[in-house]
């Protein structure tokens, strides 16, 4: 039986599709339409962070407990920074007052919830009548240098002064404003809609949230345009602000980058294949596979984390690469066989596309072994992609190809011989590969974990939101908290003197031993309240000795408001809130280790202390997720490549060659990451397995059909396709695509070098 007949006998599904091509085409397109219709029910996760925490992490229950005790406040943070000098001048005071009044006029801002140097900051002092209270600015605004010096002294001793609302160096001021509860606003607006015409509430609420956020940012942008001048810069941040800005970037930046990516793919395919089929077929298979993948994902009722919104697109690029292999095999077969149908079938027989699809999917499915739900979901999505890729590349492509004329011959396979690694060159390449492996192993020990900080790691460092965040972290106490959750062992037990003193002791330890800039806890509020009621006499800035006295003062503190995040009304749950200067992974781990050592070394009969909450309390589980998931993803992927590759290739040597080329690529990547100071993040973890899947596809193309030209083209195509995403403002997604493109390029290079060096002189 000749090769063509063997191909005809073995490629049974392709033969079947070719025999009933119109029926197969109709069925596949109908299924595609059906699955495409399911996309309307695809839900994005409302809380992306929840699926990024590792299952079983000690901080997760604490995070939930704190959120249940004190839901996240809707708070707008604004900073006015002077470019030269300090804030203690009449021009800047007027600017602060103008911004404060401008914020009050914004719809959705609670006027009573605004605090700034000119509103809400009070000064306590002793007078002949006892303790007096007035604005920190005094009875009238300062005018002379002496009056501004007096203002500096009042700010220095004010509980809301340095580090809180005034920068440590006096060059900036913070203005905060509480936002209205969008849930209540949405519910109120929803109740006014006639019941008969009401949309689903969740859909309506999302629309209201989007409108609220857009109007807020628009008003703040207008205020910034008005108040910025040669001496002052106005910056603002907040969850609602970031949500709107990222939504806008998602629609504009990702949409634009995707459009440019498709244009690049079209141009490169046109140049390489010089035929309509060479452009249409890869794009069609890409589209169909993505629709099938997301359609099945939606049918499974799995929420898609918006942080990994580009992963289906990456899977689509993977499908394009597989189509390139098929098309190249078809071009080669068509010039040896004039019958188009037999040439198509021969292309599938001579190209390892089925094994490549299966192995790539299994490699990516290895992500399911991690304990991070977001990463596990990518493993599951990869199995859906297996179905979509098989349907589009193996079943749909043959019938579509049959409607196009046989394409012109290309030079894609010109350097197909392995002669460039013969003789001594072969051993030099292998020695270099081993040296890279050793260097990469050393580099891996020095890769920093990072870029997982919620909020600041989602946008570029030069984005206005991040500029405000970094200014807040540098010049104020900052947003970098690692909360201590405190729970009394009996109801209301926090106002017992023993419990309150234990809270105070821990709070002092955080400042004196853990490096916190400051620490806020309820015991301090009780002390300040007692001191205030006792005419500001310093000797009364202490805790009372009895529970009744503490409980009485606690009630007074609650009446003033704004303490819900520090203690609940039953006096059973509370938080200690330390503010730290750094947010890198090493510093967070050091803070957490010292805090946990204190907890372990100071058991209490009255209280339970647990870590978690605050920005750093959310970042540490994400860093730990990265640290735990990455080696699991790599180990699972490489082991699957070794086993499945050896079985599919029917050769342990080929399996080892593929595995070694992938390992060398990863080692080279680690060395580059250390050299340029790039940290390992969840964005990198999310694309590690799919890059290894590409490594297998490159290797199988070289070993089974010696498609050297196709491998070079695929590597260049993938890298070029990811370049537009280097310019988007969404940092997580940009890192994801850049690392994916870089990893694939490394896989291509090592495949071309290592595999021929190992199998040189052997039949491939």
Domain boundary among 243, 261, 287: 243
Domain boundary among 193, 227, 243: 243
Please, how many CA atoms are within 13 Å of residue 608, restricted to the half-sphere of its CB? 10
Does residue 267 fall inside a structural domain? no
If asked whether residues 283 and 393 sit together in one domain, one would say: yes
If asked whether residues 30 and 135 sit together in one domain, one would say: no
CA 654 to chain centre: 37
Q: Could you give the residue ranges of the DSSP H alpha helices within 41-191?
A: 59-69, 90-104, 145-157, 182-191
Determine the pLDDT at residue 5: 39
If asked whether residues 229 and 321 sit together in one domain, one would say: no
pLDDT of 4 above 50 = no
- What confidence tens digit (pLDDT) does each residue in 387-432 have? 999 999 999 999 999 888 876 655 544 445 455 666 678 889 889 9
Averaged pLDDT for residues 677-702: 94
If asked whether residues 484 and 524 sit together in one domain, one would say: yes
If asked whether residues 165 and 282 sit together in one domain, one would say: no
Specify the pTM: 0.91
If asked whether residues 102 and 204 sit together in one domain, one would say: yes
Does residue 263 fall inside a structural domain? no
If asked whether residues 131 and 229 sit together in one domain, one would say: yes
Averaged pLDDT for residues 319-340: 88
Degrees to nearest 5, angle at CA 343 with 2 and 361: 100
Split at pLDDT 50, 70, 90, the class of 349 is confident
What CA–CA distance (Å, rounded) separates 359 from 379? 13
Does residue 631 fall inside a structural domain? no
Does residue 634 fall inside a structural domain? no
pLDDT of 131 above 70 = no
Domain boundary among 597, 614, 631: 614
Domain that holds residue 760: 414-446+651-764
Query: SS3 string of 398-433?
Result: HHHHCCCCCCCCCCCCCCCCCHHHCCHHHHHHHHHH
If asked whether residues 140 and 205 sit together in one domain, one would say: yes
Of the candidate ranges 133-137, 171-175, 180-184, the one whose mean pLDDT is the lowest:
133-137
CATH (domain of 406) = 1.20.1640.10
Does residue 47 fall inside a structural domain? no
- What confidence tens digit (pLDDT) does each residue in 424-472 have? 788 898 899 999 999 999 999 999 999 999 999 999 999 999 999 999 9
If asked whether residues 180 and 301 sit together in one domain, one would say: no
**Which residue's entry shows tokens 């203002």?**
151
Does residue 582 fall inside a structural domain? yes
pLDDT of 122 above 90 = no
If asked whether residues 490 and 535 sit together in one domain, one would say: yes
If asked whether residues 131 and 190 sit together in one domain, one would say: yes
- Indicate the DSSP class of residue 485: E
Q: Number of H helices and number of E strands within the chain?
A: 27, 10
What CA–CA distance (Å, rounded) separates 350 from 331? 12
Does residue 169 fall inside a structural domain? yes
If asked whether residues 403 and 434 sit together in one domain, one would say: no
What's the domain count of the chain? 4
Does residue 251 fall inside a structural domain? no
pLDDT of 42 above 70 = yes
What CA–CA distance (Å, rounded) separates 20 from 207? 47
């Amino acid at each position: 039986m000749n090769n063509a007949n063997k191909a005809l006998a073995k490629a049974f599904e392709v033969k079947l599709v070719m025999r009933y091509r119109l029926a197969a085409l109709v069925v596949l397109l109908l299924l595609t339409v059906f699955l495409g219709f399911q996309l309307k029910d695809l839900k994005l996760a409302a809380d992306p962070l929840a699926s990024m925490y590792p299952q079983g992490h000690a901080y997760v229950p604490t995070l939930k407990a704190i959120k249940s005790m004190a839901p996240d406040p809707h708070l707008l943070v604004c900073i006015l920074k002077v470019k030269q000098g300090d804030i203690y001048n009449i021009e800047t005071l007027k600017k602060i007052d103008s911004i404060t009044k401008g914020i009050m006029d914004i719809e959705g801002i609670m006027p009573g919830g605004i605090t700034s140097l000119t509103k809400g900051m009070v000064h306590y002092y002793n007078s002949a009548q006892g303790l007096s209270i007035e604005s920190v600015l005094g009875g009238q605004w300062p005018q002379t240098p002496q009056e501004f010096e007096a203002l500096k002294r009042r700010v220095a001793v004010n509980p809301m002064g340095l580090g809180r609302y005034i920068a440590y160096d006096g060059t900036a001021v913070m203005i905060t404003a509480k936002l209205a509860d969008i849930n209540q606003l949405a519910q109120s607006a929803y109740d006014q809609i006639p019941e008969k015409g009401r949309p689903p509430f969740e859909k309506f609420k999302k629309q209201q949230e989007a409108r609220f956020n857009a109007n807020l940012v628009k008003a703040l942008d207008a205020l910034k345009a008005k108040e910025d001048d040669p001496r002052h810069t106005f910056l603002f941040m907040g969850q609602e602000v970031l949500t709107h800005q990222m939504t806008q970037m998602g629609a504009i930046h990702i949409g634009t980058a995707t459009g440019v990516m498709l244009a690049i793919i079209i141009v490169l395919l046109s140049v390489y294949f010089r035929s309509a089929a060479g452009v249409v077929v890869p794009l069609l298979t890409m589209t169909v596979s993505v629709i099938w993948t997301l359609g099945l994902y939606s049918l499974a009722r799995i929420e898609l984390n918006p942080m990994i919104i580009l992963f289906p697109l990456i899977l689509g690029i993977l499908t394009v690469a597989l189509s390139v292999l098929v098309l190249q095999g078809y071009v080669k077969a068509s010039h040896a066989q004039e019958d188009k149908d037999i040439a198509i079938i021969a292309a599938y027989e001579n190209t390892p596309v089925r094994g490549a699809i299966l192995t790539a999917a299994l490699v990516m499915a290895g992500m399911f072994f991690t304990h991070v739900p977001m990463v596990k979901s990518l493993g599951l999505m990869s199995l859906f992609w297996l179905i979509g890729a098989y349907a589009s590349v193996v079943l749909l492509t043959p019938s579509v190809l049959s409607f196009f004329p046989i394409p012109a011959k290309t030079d894609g396979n010109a350097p197909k011989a392995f002669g460039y690694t013969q003789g001594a060159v072969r051993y030099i390449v292998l020695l270099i590969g081993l040296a890279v492996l050793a260097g990469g192993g050393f580099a891996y020990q020095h890769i920093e974990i990072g870029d997982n900080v919620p909020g600041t790691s989602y946008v570029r460092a030069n984005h206005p939101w991040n500029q405000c965040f970094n200014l807040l972290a540098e010049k104020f106490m900052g947003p970098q908290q690692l909360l201590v959750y405190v729970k009394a062992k009996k109801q209301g037990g926090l106002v017992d003197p023993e419990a309150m003193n234990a809270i105070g002791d821990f709070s002092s330890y955080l400042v004196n031993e853990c490096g916190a800039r400051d620490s806020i806890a309820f015991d301090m509020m009780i002390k300040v309240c007692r001191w205030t009621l006792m005419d500001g006499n310093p000797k009364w800035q202490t805790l009372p000795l009895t529970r009744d006295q503490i409980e009485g003062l606690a009630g007074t503190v609650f009446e003033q408001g704004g303490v819900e995040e520090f203690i609940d009304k039953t006096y059973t749950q509370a938080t200690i809130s330390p503010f730290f200067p750094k947010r890198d992974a090493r510093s967070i781990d050091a803070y957490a280790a010292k805090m946990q050592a204190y907890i372990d070394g100071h058991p209490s009969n009255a209280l339970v202390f647990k870590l978690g909450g605050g920005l750093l309390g959310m970042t540490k589980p994400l860093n730990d997720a990265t640290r735990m998931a990455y080696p699991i993803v790599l180990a699972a992927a490489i082991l699957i490549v070794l086993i499945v590759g050896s079985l599919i290739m029917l050769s342990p040597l080929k399996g080892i060659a593929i595995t070694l080329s992938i390992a060398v690529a990863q080692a080279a990547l680690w060395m580059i990451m250390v050299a340029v100071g790039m940290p390992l993040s969840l964005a990198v973890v999310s694309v590690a397995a799919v890059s290894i899947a590409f490594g297998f596809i490159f290797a199988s193309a070289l070993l089974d059909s010696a498609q050297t030209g196709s491998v070079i083209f695929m590597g260049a195509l993938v890298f070029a396709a990811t370049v537009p995403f280097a310019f988007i403002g969404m940092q997580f997604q940009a890192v994801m695509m850049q690392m994916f493109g870089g990893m694939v390029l490394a896989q291509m290079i090592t495949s071309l070098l290592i595999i021929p060096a190992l199998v040189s002189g052997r039949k491939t």
